[in-house]
Structure 1
C-alpha cells in the first residue's frame, strides 16, 4: 500500500497515440495497462508535477510517454531515448508532432538482442543532456537488463542530469532475504541459476536477458554515485512474494 498518495487524475489515452500492434508486441505486456500503472506511481510515489522536466531512459515505443501527454502541461517537458530505431521513429512521427514538448532520440548502444551492431557500451555512455537538467528521471525494465558496469555508469549519469532536489524512479530485480527464499523454494517466475558476485543471471550465454542484483550492492552503488535511496522500497511479485506493488521491485531515489 502507498501512504499519503497525491490525487491521480483520470486520463484517457487517445487511439491515435497507440502504436501499431507489432510495435506494442515487441515490448511485451499491455501497452495501456502498464503505461497507466506507472503513470500512477510517478505521481503517488515520486510526486510528479505537470510543469516538471522529465527524462525516460529506455523509452521504447512510448508506453510511459503516452499517458504523460495527457498530464504534463506546456510548461513541462519530456525527453526519451532508446536503442530501437523503429520505436523512436514512430514516437517522433506520432507523439512529437502532436506534442512538441515531447522529444525522442535514438542511442546507438550495443545490446545483444535489440541492437547487436551498436557502437557504444552502456558502461561508457553519456546521456545526451546537460547537467542539472531534469526534475524527474525514470527507468522501467532497464536495470533488469544491464550488467554491473553499465548499472554503475547509469546511476552516475542519472545523478548528473538531475537537478538538485530531483527524483528518480527505477525498477529492478533485487536479491534480499525474502526474494532469495522465494527463489530457493521455486516460487519465482524467473530462474536465476547463474550466480556471480553481487548479481545473478538467467542465462550467462545471453547475460542481458535478465539480471538481478543484491539489494545491498544496488543501494551502495546508488549512494556512491550521490543518490539518496528513499525508504520504503516497493517490492514486486517477480520472485513469488505474497505482498507486492508491481511485478518488478521499485526504488525511489533523490539528488540531495
Structure 2
C-alpha cells in the first residue's frame, strides 16, 4: 500500500506543482493589493524549499542555532544550501555589525532574489550561486557535488549549518561536503546539520508504515531513498555511518542527537534529525 501511495505521489507531483503555483500566484497578487507582503519574504510562487510557513520555520531554526549551535551575534556564519533565504532572514536582525552571513545554493533564481532583495538592504548578508548538478534542483549544473570546493578560505567560520540539504545528496557528495565544512570551520567552531537518520527506532516506524518518508529503496550499504527513479527526492542514512563520517572529517558529534518527527516519533525536536558537531 505504501509503495502504491508513493508511486501516485510521484506521478501526480507535476499536476500538484502546477495547481500549487497557480494558487500561490493568486495569493501573491492579493498580498500586493493589500500591501501585506514582508519585503524580505519572497512571493509564495517563488519558494521552492518545501512546505510550511517561511518566516515561522526561519525563526524556529534561529532558536536552534542559538540554543544548540551556540550562535552569537558576532559569529561568521555559512549557510550551505541557503535556498531562497528562509534561514537568512531572521539573521538580519540577530547578527551584529561584527557578524557575517554567507550563503550559497545551486538554484540560481533563489540566489538572484536574495541578492536583489536582501543583500541590497543588508550588505553583511552575501549570497553566491554554486552551479552544481542535481537531478531535481539543477539538472544543467556544470560541477559535481563529490568534487566541489567551497569558495571560502579555510578556518573562517564560527558556525556552519545545513537544513534539508544532505537529505537530497548521495553519500559520496555528503562525504565531500562534510570535508569542506570541516575545512572552512574555525577550531572550536560548530555545525548544525539535519538528516533522516536510520536506526533501530526509525527503521521500525518505516516498516510499520508510520513514517512520512518511506525510505525503503536501497541506494548503497548506508543509504536509502523514497523514490528509486529520483533518489535525490529524499535520502536517509544509517546513523552509525554518519557518526563515523564526522569523525573521519575531524568533527566531533555531540553526545545528544535531536531526533525528528519525520518517522512518526511522538517525542521530537523538529521535523528532521539534528546533528551538532564541533571542530577540535
Whether TM-score is above 0.5 comes out as: yes
| 2:90 counterpart of 1:67 | yes
**Residues of 1 paired with 2:50 and 2:210: CA distance?**
25
Which deviations, in whole Å up to 9, do the C-alpha atoms of 1:23-63 show, x marking residues without a partner?
23554322011111101100011110000100000000000
Q: What TM-score results when the alignment is normalised by the length of structure 2? A: 0.85
**Residues of 2 paired with 1:36 and 1:24: CA distance?**
17
**Residues of 1 paired with 2:128 and 2:51: CA distance?**
21
Which residue, 206, 224, 232 being the options, matches 2:256?
232
Gaps of 5+ in 1: 1-13
Which deviations, in whole Å up to 9, do the C-alpha atoms of 1:164-209 show, x marking residues without a partner?
0000000000001110111111110111121230111111211111
User: Who is 1:221 aligned against?
Assistant: 245
Q: 2:156–2:184: 8 Å Cα contact kept in structure 1?
A: yes
**Residues of 2 paired with 1:28 and 1:118: CA distance?**
25
User: Who is 2:224 aligned against?
Assistant: 200
User: Who is 1:175 aligned against?
Assistant: 198
Q: 2:222–2:237: 8 Å Cα contact kept in structure 1?
A: yes
Q: 2:170–2:232: 8 Å Cα contact kept in structure 1?
A: yes
Stretch moving more, 56-65 or 28-37:
28-37
User: Who is 1:7 aligned against?
Assistant: none
**Residues of 2 paired with 1:244 and 1:161: CA distance?**
30
* Aligned residue-pair number: 243
The Cα RMSD (Å) is 1.1
Higher helix share: 2
Gaps of 5+ in 2: 1-36
**Residues of 2 paired with 1:59 and 1:137: CA distance?**
11
Stretches (4+) displaced over 4 A: none
User: Who is 1:155 aligned against?
Assistant: 178
| Cα separation, partners in 2 of 1:172 and 1:95, compared to 1, 3 Å | same
Q: 1:27–1:60: 8 Å Cα contact kept in structure 2?
A: no
Which deviations, in whole Å up to 9, do the C-alpha atoms of 1:117-165 show, x marking residues without a partner?
1011111010000000100000000010000000100110000000000
Which residue, 67, 71, 78 being the options, matches 2:101?
78
Q: 2:79–2:103: 8 Å Cα contact kept in structure 1?
A: yes
**Residues of 2 paired with 1:89 and 1:239: CA distance?**
34
Stretch moving more, 28-37 or 168-177:
28-37
Q: What TM-score results when the alignment is normalised by the length of structure 1? A: 0.93
**Residues of 2 paired with 1:38 and 1:111: CA distance?**
25
User: Who is 2:210 aligned against?
Assistant: 187
Larger Rg, first or second structure (1 or 2): 2
Q: 2:49–2:83: 8 Å Cα contact kept in structure 1?
A: no
**Residues of 1 paired with 2:229 and 2:50: CA distance?**
21
